[in-house]
C-alpha cells in the first residue's frame, strides 16, 4: 500500500468527502421510495458510477451506500436479514471506485427508532445491530467509519462505542444533524453543540462534525465556527468535519428543492474551512458539481 492510512491523512489538512447519494440516484432514473441500500446488490454499476463521478470531481474519500443498511432501517423494506450482504457489497463497490489511492468511509446512519424509555429499542440490541453492520463493512474493505445524521446523544454514544469495539485502529468520524433554533443550534432531540461535541469527543472519535439539518449556508458557517470553538475548548485534539446541505430546501409541490449555486456552496465551504474545519463534503442536494466547485476553491 503506497498511501498513508486515513488516520494519518486527516492530520495533514483538507480532506474532501463526497456529496449526496439520493439526488444522484434520482438523476440516474432510480425511483424514489426504493431501498437505496439494496441497490448495492441490484444495481451495483449505478452506485459505482456515482462514486466515480465524485472522485473525478475531486473527492479524496467516498462514503459507502449503506446509510440505511442497519437491520432496523432495512427491516422497513423487509430486508433485515440482508445486512451483511448489503454492507459488504457497498464497501466493495466503493473500494473498486476508490482503488488504493483514495479512501472509503463505511457509512452508518441512525436506526430510525427510539431507545427505551422513549421507544422500544434496547441498548444491547442497537449495539449488536451496529456491530453487525460495521463488521460487514470491514469485510468489504473500508478505511474508516462515518456515523452520520445522529439526533439523539444516547443513540450516538452506543453507535460510536459499537463501531469502536470492532474497528481496531481505523478512524471513526461522528456527526449530528443540527437546525437553527433561535440563537442556538440543536438537533431534533434537543442536543446542543457543546453537549454533542464534549460527549462525542470523550468517546474517542477521530473527527466530530455536523451534517444535514435545515440551515442556510450562512448558518452552516456560523455552526462551523461554534463547532471549532467547542472542540478547541477540550483537551483532546480531534478534526472537525462538515457536510452541509446545498442550503435550505424550498418546498415545491411537496418536494424539497435545493436552489443554491455551486459558487455559493463553494464560498460557504471556504468560510467553513477558514473557521478550522478540515474535512468537508456535502449532504442533501449536493452533487459532483458542488464538490468540484469546492475542490476548485480549496485545493
Ligand atoms: Zn442530508
CA-nearest of 164, 154, 61 to 111 is 154
Grid cell of 129 as nine digits: 445491530
Rounded to the nearest whole angstrom, what is the distance from the C-alpha of residue 148 to the centroid of ligand 1?
A: 9
Rounded to the nearest whole angstrom, what is the distance from the C-alpha of residue 257 to the centroid of ligand 1?
A: 12
Rounded to the nearest whole angstrom, what is the distance from the C-alpha of residue 250 to the centroid of ligand 1?
A: 14
Report the residue count for the chain.
299
Residues flanking ion ligand 1, Cβ below 5 Å: 212, 283-284
Q: What is the pLDDT of residues 215-259, one digit of tens each?
A: 999 999 999 999 999 999 998 899 999 999 999 988 888 888 898
Rounded to the nearest whole angstrom, what is the distance from the C-alpha of residue 243 to the centroid of ligand 1?
A: 8
CA-nearest of 51, 48, 54 to 290 is 54
| pLDDT score for 31 | 86
Q: What is the pLDDT of residues 43-68, one digit of tens each?
A: 999 999 999 999 999 999 999 999 99
Q: What is the pLDDT of residues 74-132, one digit of tens each?
A: 999 999 999 999 999 999 999 999 999 999 999 999 999 999 999 999 999 999 999 99
Rounded to the nearest whole angstrom, what is the distance from the C-alpha of residue 285 to the centroid of ligand 1?
A: 8
Rounded to the nearest whole angstrom, what is the distance from the C-alpha of residue 245 to the centroid of ligand 1?
A: 6
Q: What is the pLDDT of residues 158-217, one digit of tens each?
A: 999 999 999 999 999 999 999 999 999 999 999 999 999 999 999 999 999 999 999 999
Rounded to the nearest whole angstrom, what is the distance from the C-alpha of residue 216 to the centroid of ligand 1?
A: 13
Instruction: Flag whether pLDDT at 150 surpasses 80.
Output: yes
Rounded to the nearest whole angstrom, what is the distance from the C-alpha of residue 2 to the centroid of ligand 1?
A: 33
Q: Are 25 and 46 in contact (CB under 8 A)?
A: yes
| pLDDT score for 254 | 85
| pLDDT score for 2 | 60
Instruction: Flag whether pLDDT at 155 surpasses 70.
Output: yes
Cβ atoms < 10 Å from Cβ of 278: 18
- Residue that the C-alpha cell 470523550 belongs to: 202
| pLDDT score for 194 | 98
Show the 3-state SS of the chain: CCCCCHHHHHHHCCEECCCCCHHHHHHCCCCCCCCHHHHHHHCHHHHHHHHHHHHHHCCCEEECCCCCCCHHHHHCCCCHHHHHHHHHHHHHHHHHHHCCCCEEEEEECCCCCCECCCCCECHHHHHHHHHHHHHHHHHHCCCEEEEEEECCHHHHHHHHHHHHHHCCCCCEEEEECCEEECCEEECCCCCEHHHHHHHHHHCCCCEEEEECCCCCHHHHHHHHHHHHHHHHCCCCCCEEEEECCCCCCEEECCEEECCCCHHHHHHHHHHHHHCCCCEECCCCCCCHHHHHHHHHHHC
- What's the mean pLDDT in 2-18? 94
Contacts of 138 (CB under 8 A, 6+ apart): 91, 106, 166, 167, 170
| pLDDT score for 297 | 98
User: In sequence order, what are the beta bridge partners of 255?
Assistant: 252
Amino acid at each position: 500500500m503506497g498511501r498513508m492510512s486515513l488516520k494519518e491523512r486527516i492530520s495533514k489538512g483538507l480532506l474532501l468527502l463526497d456529496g449526496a447519494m439520493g439526488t444522484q440516484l434520482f438523476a440516474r432514473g432510480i425511483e424514489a421510495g426504493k431501498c437505496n441500500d439494496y441497490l448495492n446488490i441490484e444495481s451495483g454499476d449505478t452506485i459505482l458510477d456515482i462514486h466515480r463521478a465524485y472522485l473525478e470531481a475531486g473527492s479524496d474519500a467516498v462514503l459507502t451506500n449503506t446509510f440505511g443498511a442497519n437491520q432496523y432501517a432495512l427491516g422497513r423494506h423487509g430486508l433485515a436479514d440482508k445486512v451483511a450482504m448489503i454492507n459488504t457489497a457497498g464497501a466493495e463497490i466503493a473500494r473498486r471506485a476508490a482503488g488504493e489511492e483514495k479512501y472509503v468511509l463505511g457509512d452508518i446512519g441512525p436506526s430510525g427508532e427510539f431507545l427505551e424509555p422513549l421507544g422500544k429499542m434496547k441498548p444491547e440490541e442497537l449495539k449488536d445491530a451496529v456491530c453487525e453492520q460495521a463488521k460487514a463493512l470491514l469485510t468489504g474493505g473500508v478505511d474508516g467509519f462515518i456515523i452520520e445524521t445522529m439526533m439523539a446523544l444516547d443513540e450516538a454514544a452506543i453507535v460510536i462505542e459499537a463501531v469502536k469495539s470492532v474497528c481496531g485502529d481505523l478512524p471513526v468520524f461522528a456527526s449530528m444533524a443540527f437546525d437553527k433554533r433561535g440563537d442556538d443550534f440543536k438537533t431534533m432531540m434537543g442536543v446542543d453543540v457543546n453537549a454533542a461535541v464534549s460527549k462525542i469527543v470523550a468517546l474517542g472519535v477521530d473527527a466530530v462534525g455536523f451534517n444535514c439539518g435545515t440551515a442556510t449556508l450562512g448558518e452552516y458557517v456560523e455552526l462551523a465556527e461554534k463547532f471549532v470553538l467547542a472542540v478547541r475548548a477540550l483537551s483532546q485534539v480531534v478534526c472537525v468535519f462538515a457536510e452541509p446541505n446545498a442550503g435550505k430546501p424550498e418546498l415545491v409541490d411537496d418536494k424539497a428543492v435545493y436552489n443554491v449555486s455551486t459558487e455559493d456552496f463553494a464560498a460557504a465551504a471556504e468560510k467553513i474551512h477558514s473557521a478550522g474545519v478540515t474535512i468537508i463534503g456535502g449532504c442533501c442536494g449536493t452533487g459532483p458539481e458542488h464538490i468540484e466547485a469546492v475542490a476548485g476553491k480549496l485545493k
